[in-house]
Amino acid sequence: MIGDALALARKDLLLEVRRREVVLAMLQYVITTLVVIHFAIAGAGSSQKAAAGMLWAAILFTAVLSLNRCFAADQEEGALDALLLAPIDRAAIWLGKVLAQMTFLLIMEAIALPAFWLFFFGEKGPRPLPVIAAVLLANIGLATIGVLVAGLAQATRARDVLLPVLFLPLSIPLVIAAVTATLESFPGGSGAQKALQFLAVFNIVFTSLAWGTYEHLAGE
């Protein structure tokens, strides 16, 4: 099961290395989004609250971008049908996709976070460690619910339109906690511990829900 999932994740990563379809677009998109939001709120990004919100809005929308391509290659080449016929646990398909998506998100954030710090915080930023912890925990949650919802959306007629519509409401609690964690990591904040714990709980709840329900998805 874990081996199957790793093999599937490796397949997706290899495809990405060869095609360079998603990650470069994500990088471009996340930086552009930061800049756009900054101008949209008329420079209020220099305030801590606005900056923390911008960071998470940008991460969320960039996640939608890569999730939209999550099942695209498999579908275009008919690999999804083959996967469903293969003698593997369907949860392994889901887990493989989650691992691949988490890697994409990590690469994007490895570039976006430093850029974000440079643009908006300079030396007056929050303590980096809790923010990084929040990013890592949020990645798990975003990939978990994202792949599940992408699995729902990929079989519909309105695929790319539907994904954000389904994904964003589910991710609201995650965003609330992640923004709280970021804000509370500023000097003078009361610490991100509670919000980080919440992110962990969120991940546990939705990982088990996704694990339990995924076998009902991905075609019959």
Partner 1 sequence: MPAALRFPGGGWVASSGALIPLAIALAAWWVPDDADQGYSQRIFYFHVPIALTTYAAFAYGAFCAAAYLKTRDPRWDLRSYVGVHVGAIFGTLVLITGSIWAKVSWGVWWDWSDRQLNVFLVLFLYYCAYFMLRFSVDEGEQRMSYSAVYTLLGVGLIPLSILAVRIAQSLVHPTVFTTSGAAMTNDMFMTFLVAFAGMLCLAAGMIAMELRGKRAALRVRELRRRLEGTDL
Chain residues in the site for partner 1 (CB under 8 A): 145, 148, 152-153, 155-158, 162, 165-166, 168-170, 172-174, 176-177, 179-180, 183-184, 189-190, 194-195, 198, 201-202, 205-206, 209, 213, 216-217, 219-220
Q: What's the CA gap between 168 and 175, in Å, rounded?
A: 10
CB of 31 to partner 1, least distance (A): 27
Give the containing element (helix H, strand E) for 169.
helix 159-184
The burial class, CB within 10 Å (0-12 / 13-18 / 19+), for 43 is: exposed
CA distances from 147 to 62, 86, 98, 123 (A): 14, 20, 6, 36
For residue 62 the two structure tokens come to 């960039």
**41 vs 51: CA distance, rounded Å:** 10
In this complex, which beta carbon is closest to partner 1, that of residue 109 or of residue 184? Answer: 184
Minimum Å gap between C-beta 206 and partner 1 is: 6
Q: Give the shortest CB-3-to-partner 1 separation in angstroms.
A: 26
Q: Which is nearer to partner 1, 13 or 173 (CB)?
A: 173
Q: What span, in angstroms and rounded, lies between the C-alpha atoms of 19 and 142?
A: 23
Output 16 or 184, the one with its CB closest to partner 1: 184
d(CA 39, CA 89): 47
Output the CA angle 57-199-154, nearest 5 degrees. 60
Least CB distance to partner 1 at residue 133 (A):
15
**Alpha-carbon gap, residue 100 to 143, rounded angstroms:** 9
CB–CB of 21/69 below 8 Å? yes
Smaller CB separation from partner 1, 104 or 202 = 202
Closest to partner 1 by CB, 30 or 64: 64
Shortest Cβ 43–partner 1 spacing (Å): 22
Q: Which is nearer to partner 1, 106 or 201 (CB)?
A: 201
Compute the least distance from the CB of residue 123 to partner 1, in Å. 24
